[in-house]
Structures are given as C-alpha cells and as structure tokens.
Amino acid sequence: MEMSAWVIVLLGLMIFLAHLFSGIFERTRIPDVLPLVLIGLLIGPVLGLLAPDRLGAVGNVFTTATLVLILFEGGLDLNLGVLARSLSGGVRLALVNVLGVTAIVALLAHEWLDMSLLPALTLGTISAATSSAVIIPMVSRLRITDATRTVLVVEAALSDVICIVLVLGYLAAIGQERVIGPAILGRMISSLLMALGIGGLAGVLWSLLLERVRSLQTSMITTPAFVFVVFGLTEILGFSGAIASLTFGFVLGNTESVQRGFLWLGKDVRVGHLLQGERDFFAELVFVMKTFFFIFIGIQMPLREPDLILASLVLVTATLLIRIPVVRVACPCRMAMQDASIASVMVPKGLASAVLAALAVEHHLPQAETVRDLSYGVILFSIAVTAVMAFLVERGWTSPLFRLLYRGEPAPEEAPDKEAP
C-alpha cells in the first residue's frame, strides 16, 4: 500500500511539474518537452526505478492513445482557408524531407556503421519520421505564422504515413529480390486516400450527431471516445489511423464549412459545433496525456553502449544539417526568415519511429537490434536538439546564421499571423 501511495504522489508531482515547465515555456521559450523527457530518463535508465517492460502492453496502448488525441486536437486548430494555402507546402516538405533524411542516414549507416542495404534504409526512414506528438504542441506556442504552423503539422502527419509504408515495404522485402517500389507507392497512396475519406466521413457524421450527444450526461468524453473508434477501425482496415484522426479533428474544427456544403447540396440539416468549453476540456486532456507520453519516451530510451550513443548523436546532427536544404527546396520564397528558421530545426522523432524500430526486431530484420537501439537514441537526441534549437531561434540568437544560410531564399521578415502568448 505504501508503494502505491508513493506512485500516486509521483503522478501528481509530474502533472504539477508539467504545468511548471509549461509556464517556463511561456516566459522563456524553453520547450516543456525536453524536461519531461529528462524526467523519464532519470526514472528509467539512470535510476532504474521503472523499466518499459514492466508496463507491458499498457505502455504501447497509452502512447498510441496520446498520439490519437494530439492529432485530433491538432486537426481542430487547422483552419480550412489556411490549410488550402499550405497543403501543397506540407506535402512537398514531407516528401523532400523523407527522401533527404533517408538518403543521408542510410549512406552513413552503410558506409560508417557497416550496415547492409536493407537495415540502413530502414534506419534512414525511421530517422525521417517527424513526430506529430512533439511538433503540434511546440508549434502551437512558437511565434510563427498560421500558414507555416499548418505546413509543419501537415508534414508531421504525412511523414508518419510515408515512413510507415516504406518500412513495411522494406520488411516485406526481407529474403526477396523482386522490385517492390511500385507496390510501396500504391500502398502509400491508397492508405492516405482511404484514411482521409474515413476521417472526413466520420467527422461529418459526428457533427450531425453532436447536438443529440450533448443531451447525455458527461457527454464531453464521448467525442474523444469516438476518435479512438475512428482510429482503431481505420488501422484494422489497414489504413493510416493517424491521418484519419487528424482529418476527423479538422472536420469538427471547420463545421461552418460543412454546413455551407450541405446548403450547397440543397440539404437543410443542422450541423453541431464544438463549444469553447469542450475545446478547453480536450486541451486539458491532451496536456495530461502529453505529460506522461514524453516521460514514457524518456523511460524507454536505452543508454547502454557509448558507441551507439555517439552514433545516434551523429545521425541526429546529419538530419539537422540536411533539414536546411530540405526547407530551401520544399519552401522556396514562401516563409519569413523566422518561420524558415523554426522549420529548419523541427526534426523530432517520436512514437512512429519507436514502433517501426520494434517492428524491425519482430520481423527479424538483419542487424535489427542495432537499428532499434540507434532509433531510440535518435528519438531522444532529436527531441533534445529540437527543443534547444527552437529556444535559440526564438531568442534570436541564431538569426545571423540563418540569414546567411537562407540568403535570398525566404520572403522578407513578416509579422506572424498569431503571436504566441
């Protein structure tokens, strides 16, 4: 009983600390993600108080549920007009980043770490999956334009889909010599389109039911519950539950457009809208889930071999360096200098990378353990690098460097559409 009491105390302290870190972020621009991950490192690998295997399947279910809610809330904040202007930029950035990071990391893994081609490609693609769970909370508070914020959210959501499909293609190619490139491309497109359709239809359906659902007691929790249903069914059907969750939130966040669509079709139906109280509830729920998510990320990081730690640092440095030409190519003459600088340091990895690393072991990929340990190191250090670099950019301490790097590229400095509080 005493141990259970201490665990409850620890849980409460973590939430208090998360609020403290959030307040520090508001004042100093030091992202709250980093100290949460460091707490997880202290609890897990450093002090050995909690090991990931003691959590069993609960840990994976929790991280997936957190990702679903973060994507849903991110979709709620996407404006249809801004998305229309930023969609092509997000798609372009996702594709160029995945190709660039996969190529450079795979080359380093093949030539420097003596990996064979398939494990090297797998590690490269895992390292290219930017994390929605890190990106969305961070960019919601950084001083950038709404258009750039939307580009980064779209990129994060799409990169997960692209990387998951590619890695599944690599794993399917184990022991086979046939060319599977067209099959991978077809699977990726079908997964994306079907997920968009499922999420969109679910959003429209829920907007029609929303007014009736509100008549139920404790109805606020039913919307997140329906998000889980949409995510799970989409995954069971073999498509991207992440994209479906994001699309579901996007539709609910733009129900005025849904109403106009029905009127254009000659249908006079009542479409429900989310109330501010419901949005605040979702934000609080995501805040609590996000707190434990990033602590869990820190807990599951292996810190056993110094050589692997050094290699992970080198790979993260490579992803950061390649990010600069990626942003130049994918977003030419479109972003203000501040926005381009922020976009250039958004390289965090998260849940998708961890899941793909575990899949590599399950499918007996050659050198799978090395791929997994390097991937975990990349997740940890990429989050740390993103947090530190975002802080430096927000403070303006990197302005001379980025002015030199982006000389003649981004548009002149512009005021953000929405200032962070």
- Global pTM value: 0.71
The pLDDT, as a whole number, for residue 190 is 76
Residue 88 backbone phi and psi in degrees, to 5: -60, -40
3-state DSSP call for residue 178?
Answer: coil
Q: List, in sequence order, every beta strand (DSSP E) within 48-129.
A: none
What is the spatial distance between Cα 107 and Cα 248, in angstroms, rounded to a whole number? 38
Residue appearing with tokens 């969750």: 245
Name the DSSP letter for residue 82.
Answer: H
CATH placement of domain 2-405? 1.20.1530.20
Residue 314 backbone phi and psi in degrees, to 5: -65, -45
pLDDT tens digit at each of 421 positions of the chain: 565 677 778 778 888 888 888 777 666 666 677 788 888 888 887 877 777 666 666 777 777 788 788 878 878 877 777 777 777 888 899 999 999 999 999 999 999 999 988 899 999 999 999 887 788 878 887 888 888 888 898 888 888 778 877 887 777 666 654 445 566 666 667 777 888 899 999 999 998 888 888 777 667 788 889 999 999 999 898 887 878 888 898 898 888 888 888 878 777 778 888 888 888 888 888 888 878 877 887 787 766 678 888 999 999 999 999 998 999 888 755 677 888 889 999 999 877 787 788 778 877 888 888 998 899 889 888 988 998 898 888 888 888 888 777 765 544 444 444 444 3
Q: Are 57 and 68 in contact (CB under 8 A)?
A: no
Q: Are 332 and 343 in contact (CB under 8 A)?
A: no
What is the spatial distance between Cα 123 and Cα 287, in angstroms, rounded to a whole number? 31
Cα distances from 212 to residues 219, 258, 270, 287, 415, in angstroms, run: 10, 17, 11, 27, 42
What is the spatial distance between Cα 299 and Cα 262, in angstroms, rounded to a whole number? 48
Closest CA to 169 of 194, 198, 191, 195: 191
What is the domain partition of the chain in residue ranges? 2-405
What is the spatial distance between Cα 222 and Cα 228, in angstroms, rounded to a whole number? 10
Residue 151 backbone phi and psi in degrees, to 5: -55, -45
Residues near 61 by Cβ (< 8 Å), separated by ≥ 6? none
Q: Are 365 and 117 in contact (CB under 8 A)?
A: no
What is the spatial distance between Cα 316 and Cα 310, in angstroms, rounded to a whole number? 10
Other Cβ atoms within 10 Å of 190 Cβ, number: 13
Q: Dihedral, CA atoms, 351, 354, 355, 361, nearest 10 degrees?
A: 180
3-state DSSP call for residue 221?
Answer: helix
For the record, the structure tokens of 14 come out as 């973590």
